[in-house]
Amino acid sequence: MSHIRLGFGYALTSEGVKGAQYKVQVLRCGSWQYGEDPESGFDLTESDLREIVSNFKAAEKGVDVPLMYGHDDASEAQCGWVKDLALEGKGADASVWAYFDLTDGHVRRKVDEGSIKYSSSELDLAYVNPERARTTGDTTPRKVFEGLALTNRPYIKGMAPVATVTLTERSEKPTTVPEPTKPNTENDSVSVRLAEQERETEALRTKLAERDRDIEAIRKDGLRRDNENRKRLNETIIRERCAALKLSPAVSNRALRLNTLLCLGGAHTVKLSEPVRVAKVRLAEGESPSDESVDTLDVMAEVMDLLQELPDNLSQDAAKANLEEAEDDTKESGGESEAIKAAEKRFAEDPKLNFRIVLGEELQKRGVVRLGAKKGDR
């Protein structure tokens, strides 16, 4: 029989040592009968106890040893962890003490008030480490400490009670249990995590750079679209102003070309529909830039004033010239004036019409002189 649970009658004491809160005597040398079968008896010598303690510190089982409330394997029965084992005494007086923490407040109160005093150990006297057996072929059985339970009905009597740890014991360095299948891999794990974090950080940098490029492309596309819209708006305004001032097609085209030049600058170009602030021209060479002041200009008005000063601001269309002459010839006739207005309206609605023919038709409707007739011919 290798796997046994021993109800040693060791009373609990709330003296936590080596980082634990409590300690209790769990094993001692002697011959023990386990159950009614005479073959179930076993002996524990100082050598056996020393092996049990050594295997605990070497994490032979590969897991932390649980502290249970009674011998119940259910997860809810666990109330803490065995932090360390220590061998005390020599020869026949040798014994093992367990140092443990309590994580269950209800059980802790029972221990502190003395409602629970004793412990029961769980041993495997012929444990074979499967990892070692698989990798090295070593199948040597070893004695290991598997668990500890708090109970008031231990099988073996005469053990020391639970006690709390003294301040001196608390100052000692607690025993740590390494991962048996990953010996000394803590630094390697940290390095792996750091490498993963660095890769994630680099991936984020790449995504941010791509996003910045996308934002810049969107910004440039927005500026291009805005500039196109300004150019179209300016063209509409220019055509309306040219029509209102009766400027010739040559002048209108010149204004449209000027608009194209103004819009070459992109987002910093002006809108002809809005006034702009520009620096006044320096009147004296001695003036410094700080002496300059700012004017608010109506760009469209300035452009049209300039265009009207050009020689070809006069109509180059013969029909329009005849219209001016016809206006002089028909000043005295209200019907003639109405004919001219009607012809202008039709021409504005459809510039493809021949203005002279349209005017002649309107004059004939009103029974007035034909287009091109002289005053002496009336």
Q: Choose the weakest-confidence range: 143-147, 159-163, 222-226.
A: 159-163
Per-residue burial over 246-260, b if 16 or more Cβ lie within 10 Å, else e, is ebbeebbebbeebbe
Please give the Cα distance from 313 to 299 (Å, whole number): 18
Digit-coded pLDDT (tens) for 288-315: 544 455 556 566 666 666 666 565 444 4
Phi-psi region of 164 (alpha: psi -120 to 50; beta: other; left: phi over 0): beta
Helix, strand, coil percentages for the chain (3-state, nearest 5): 45, 20, 30
- Residue 17: the pLDDT is 44
- Residue 73: the pLDDT is 60
Model confidence at 10, pLDDT cuts 50, 70, 90, reads: low
CB 12 within 8 A of CB 92: no
Cβ-based neighbours of 77, under 8 Å, separated by 6 or more = 68, 69, 70
Residue with tokens 């002041």: 293
Please give the Cα distance from 259 to 76 (Å, whole number): 84
User: For the chain, what is the mean pLDDT?
Assistant: 72
Please give the Cα distance from 131 to 266 (Å, whole number): 74
- Average pLDDT, integer, range 96-112: 89
Please give the Cα distance from 212 to 204 (Å, whole number): 12
- Residue 283: the pLDDT is 40
Residue type, 216: E
Q: Is the pLDDT confidence value at 100 over 80?
A: yes
**Where would I find the beta strands (DSSP E) of the chain?**
3-15, 22-28, 30-32, 42-44, 65-69, 78-88, 95-102, 118-127, 142-151, 156-159, 162-164, 276-279, 294-297
- Residue 141: the pLDDT is 92
The backbone torsions φ and ψ at residue 67, rounded to the nearest 5 degrees and listed phi first, read -110, 125
- In this structure, are strands 156-159 and 3-15 parallel, antiparallel, or unpaired? parallel
CA nearest neighbour of 13 among 98, 104, 127, 90? 98
- Residue 374: the pLDDT is 43
Digit-coded pLDDT (tens) for 18-61: 456 788 888 888 887 766 666 667 788 999 999 999 999 988 88
Q: What is the percentage of the chain residues whose pLDDT exceeds 70? A: 60
- Residue 358: the pLDDT is 81
Q: How many CB atoms lie within 10 A of CB 304?
A: 21
The backbone torsions φ and ψ at residue 313, rounded to the nearest 5 degrees and listed phi first, read -80, -10
Residue type, 27: L
Q: Look up the pTM and report it.
A: 0.43
- Average pLDDT, integer, range 157-163: 70
Secondary structure letter of residue 282 according to DSSP: P
Q: How many CB atoms lie within 10 A of CB 3?
A: 12
Question: Which range, 34-48, 210-224, 333-347, has the best average confidence (pLDDT)?
Answer: 210-224
Please give the Cα distance from 109 to 119 (Å, whole number): 16
Residue type, 137: G
Output the six-digit token pair for 32.
């023990």
Q: Is the pLDDT confidence value at 177 over 70?
A: no
Whole-angstrom Cα Rg for the chain? 54
Q: Is the pLDDT confidence value at 344 over 90?
A: no
CB 164 within 8 A of CB 22: yes
